[in-house]
Amino acid sequence: MTNSQNPEIEPLSRIQILIAMAVTSIILFGVAKLWLYLGDLQLRPLVMTVEALGLGIAIGLGLTGLSSIVYAAWATYRESADFYLAMVLKPLSIPDLIWLGLLPGLSEELLFRGVMLPALGLDPIGIVLSSICFGVLHMTNIQQWPYAVWATLVGMILAFTMVETGNLLIPIVAHITTNFVSGLSWKLKARS
Domain spans in the chain, listed from the N-terminal domain onward: 12-191
Give the whole-angstrom CA distance, residue 105 versus residue 12.
21
pLDDT value of residue 11: 80
* Cβ-defined contacts of 130-136 (< 8 Å, 24+): 130/155, 130/159, 131/155, 131/156, 131/158, 131/159, 134/108, 134/158
Range from 95-104, 140-149, 165-174 carrying the lowest mean pLDDT: 140-149
pLDDT at residue 48 is higher than 70: yes
Terminal CA-CA length for the chain = 19
Q: How much is the pTM?
A: 0.91
pLDDT tier at 5 (50, 70, 90 boundaries)? very low
CB within 8 Å of 36: residues ≥ 6 apart? 42, 43, 115
pLDDT at residue 6 is higher than 70: no
- Write out pLDDT tens, residues 72-122: 999 999 998 888 888 889 999 999 999 999 999 999 999 999 999 999 999
